[in-house]
Amino acid sequence: MTLSLMIERLRSYVEDETPTGDAAALNAFADRLVQRYAELGGTARRVAAASGDHVVADFPGRGALSDAAPVLFLGHHDTVWPAGQLAGAMPWRVEDGVIHGPGVFDMKGGLVILESALAALYGEQGSGTDHRPVRVVVVADEEVGSPSARELVTRESAGVVAAFGLEPPHPNGDLKTSRWGSTRIRIEVTGREAHAALDPESGLSAIDELVDQLIAVRAVVARHEQVLCNVGTIEGGGRTNVVAGTAWADIGFRFVDPETESAVLEAVAALPAVRAGAGVDVRVMSNRPAWQPSPATDELLSKVRAAGESIGQQVGGAAASGAADTNLTGWLGIPTLDGLGPIGQGAHAVHEQAIAATLTERAALVTAIIRTV
């Protein structure tokens, strides 16, 4: 697939906005992927989920490797951006070889890269080189931790020889060889409503209790090195003349290892209410275990380096603090690498962008990987 065709397809994908949780939009996009994978020679299906359907596709191996264990590619079709972002702060545009728009970098560019590689392998001009079967899993809720896709990814990972993620690479193009663990929790507080001026003593502010709980969480985190903590959402109360009866906060944690994760989460779950009568409930919303460095990943990186050298590309690798679905495959002990998306910047930011020329470069690398691994 030429660069111009890849840019054209990426534009069509970006203009088809797919916010996380918008099931109708995600399902329509899943239909597009199923049709596209079928056109490329795969057997594809939608996997139902309430928040948006996932897609699984299998492509046959070739020659002596036709019955070998498959290689797995992981992607997602949801974005962090709400519907209308394209018409507002982030219009599609290509300027000076750089593509701008919601999802171009994270990660519809990665989906287009994979399609181009599949076209090179299975299309009319596809090579007759022997290679393993290819399995593709594209999930619909990656941006919130893939809570509905974890079992699917686990099931489809069984028996694969290696797993590759289509997320963005490091800024210099290096692949990602490990990832921190990521857990989202919600702290829900119940208090007691009362008139804030006429009878404040009868009230129990859920908001005040939540603030103190968040301060206590910070104290827990401070006792551990290499823990990231972000309070991403807070809601509560209703009126300034009513003592708030309910409040909640969503917190995102990042952990370098499972031991730290367990220690922090257990301590947070055990925090007592500061105010007598307040109810405090802590629950895990989603979890991705830490994917730690391993000899298996080092060996896989060596093979990918050789694949890159065969097409004149230098491939490097380094650890990453961000989390993705490759956390799960890496944690399961499957040789895993991530970061095969285009080089760019601005994931989850209004300046999101991808370098156009790296679309074809990454597609060539993915093709070489499938032929080599």
Q: Provide the pLDDT confidence category of residue 188 given band limits of 50, 70 and 90.
A: very high
Handedness of CA 5, 8, 14, 17 (dihedral sign): negative
Q: What is the pLDDT of residue 331?
A: 95
Q: Which of 227, 222, 223 is nearest to 261 (CA)?
A: 227
Share of the chain above pLDDT 70, in %: 99
Alpha carbon distance 8, 85 (integer Å): 19
pLDDT for the residue numbered 127: 62
Q: Which residues contact 14 (CB under 8 A, 6 or more apart)?
A: 86, 92, 101, 102, 103, 104, 108
For residue 369, the model assigns a pLDDT of 98
Pick the more confident residue, 124 or 8: 8
Position 344 pLDDT exceeds 80 = yes
Mean model confidence pLDDT for the chain: 96
Position 349 scores a pLDDT of 97
Nearest alpha carbon to residue 28 among 46, 6, 41, 10 = 46
Residues 223, 225, 228, CA angle at the centre, nearest 5°?
Answer: 95
- Please report the pLDDT score of residue 124 as a whole number: 62
Quote the Cα angle for 44-47-51, to 5°: 135
Query: What is the average per-residue pLDDT within 361-369?
Result: 98
- What pLDDT shows up at residue 90? 97
The per-residue pLDDT for 129 is 85
Q: Distance of alpha carbon 243 from its chain centroid, rounded? A: 39
The Cα 166–Cα 107 span in angstroms is: 7
Of 21-25, 122-126, 130-134, 281-285, which gets the smallest average pLDDT?
122-126
Q: How confident is the model at residue 168 (pLDDT cuts 50, 70, 90)?
A: very high
Average pLDDT over residues 163-178: 98
Task: Determine the Cα–Cα distance for residues 193 and 208; give it in Å rounded to an integer.
Answer: 13
The confidence score (pLDDT) of residue 206 equals 98
Q: Which of 112, 59, 174 is nearest to 363 (CA)?
A: 112
Report the first-to-last Cα separation within the chain, whole angstroms.
22
Among 53, 228, 204, 71, which Cα is nearest to 139's?
A: 53
pLDDT for position 125: 60
What domains appear along the chain, each with residue ranges and CATH number?
Answer: 3-180+291-372 (3.40.630.10), 181-288 (3.30.70.360)
Give me the mean pLDDT over the 24-30 stretch.
Answer: 98
Indicate if the pLDDT at residue 287 is higher than 80.
yes
Look at residue 51 in the predicted model and tell me its pLDDT. 96
b/e code 349-361 from CB counts within 10 Å (16+ = b): eeebbbbbebbbb
pLDDT tops 70 at residue 294: yes
Predicted local confidence at residue 48, as pLDDT: 98
Q: Which of 64, 117, 99, 63 is nearest to 311 (CA)?
A: 117
Residue 216: burial class (beta carbons within 10 Å; 0-12, 13-18, 19+): middle
Give the per-residue pLDDT at 126. Answer: 62
Give which of 129, 127, 114, 131 is closest to 69, Cα–Cα: 131
Residue 72 pairs with which residues in a beta bridge?
135, 163
Percentage, residues of the chain above pLDDT 90: 97
Strand partners, 284: 185
Q: Enter the pTM of the model.
A: 0.92
123 pLDDT band (50/70/90 cuts)?
Answer: confident
DSSP conformational letter for 192: B
Q: Quick one: average pLDDT of 52-77?
A: 97
- Average pLDDT for residues 229-249, to the nearest whole number? 97
Q: Is residue 76 over pLDDT 80?
A: yes
pLDDT at position 133 is 98
pLDDT at 75 over 90: yes
Report the DSSP pairing between strands 134-139 and 54-59: antiparallel
Q: Name residues whose C-beta falls within 8 Å of residue 344's C-beta, 6 or more positions apart in sequence.
A: 98, 99, 104, 105, 109, 168, 352, 353, 354, 355, 358
